[in-house]
Amino acid sequence: MIGALIYAVAINYFLIPNRIGEGGVTGLTALGYYTFSIPPALTNVVLNGILILIGFKFLKRETGFYTLWAILWISLFLRIPVFFPYHTDQTVIAAISGGVLMGIAMGLIFRAKGTIAGSTILAKIINRYYGIRNGSAMLFFDLTVAIPSGLIIGFQNMLLTVLELYISAVVLNKYLEAFGAKRSVLVFSTQNQAIGEALTSNLGQGVTMLKATGFYHQQDTDVLFYVCSNQDWTVVMPIIMSIDPKALVVTDQIRSVRGMQLSNL
């Protein structure tokens, strides 16, 4: 609901008052408003209803229901009268502000296991089956609507729309990476047993011990494998270094973890 509110504010207060378009279904709602004065809330419900049916087929039912919930609230918030629309001659400010708000709004909704339908449903499907980041996939689909919109809103506003879409995609990717991505950790140490016990007791999460063989000396050794959130990462390194300051630690950013729960590793 908070994400839906921020999304509606971005449209009603920053984009529409400055005649800036959008991508996907939202872009079509803006074009319908500019051209035929069709209420954005009506277009939003009709077009997104079709895409939600597609989402139910390719995504989890939970995602479909949360998407429907988000769309209903976005449509409701779009109907609230606009009291202080942001009009400015420096329309790039409106494009940047709208893009940041859009990215934050979609990040909140994505983190709550929903989408805003439109291109975000297509982006979710692409992310699920091909691993492409949500923001990047969404940007691709949005541009297919935003670029032709220049025929209606003008070339300058089309460029501003592309800028807004790019900013929202970057903010969305960064938001999901900060709050949803994981880190994988490989630890090479003679104290791996103690490090594993410390990580488990402090973070309440399972650790995996792998068998490895050093190529040069042909010696068998244990390698500790651990997956953690970015928030926990700030605690993981101090724990490892406090037990073995000479430990070799290799980390990598991973976008998602599926399957067995981490606590069962």
Residues 129 and 150 in one domain: yes
- 3-state SS of 59-84 is CCHHHHHHHHHHHHHHHHHHCCCCCC
| pLDDT the model gives residue 258 | 59
Q: Over range 24-31, report the average pLDDT.
A: 74
What helix, strand, coil percent values describe the chain, rounded to 5? 65, 10, 25
Residues 164 and 40 in one domain: yes
Residues 219 and 108 in one domain: no
Residues 190 and 130 in one domain: no
Question: 97 φ, ψ to 5°?
Answer: -60, -45
Residues 127 and 158 in one domain: yes
Residues 162 and 220 in one domain: no
Q: Which domain holds residue 245?
A: 182-264
- For residue 122, pLDDT over 70 is answered with yes
- For residue 212, pLDDT over 80 is answered with yes
- For residue 147, pLDDT over 50 is answered with yes
pLDDT in tens, 153-196: 788 988 998 999 999 989 988 888 777 667 889 999 989 899 98
Q: Over range 68-92, report the average pLDDT.
A: 86
CATH number where 229 lies: 3.30.70.120
CA–CA distance, 17 with 3 (Å, rounded to integer): 21
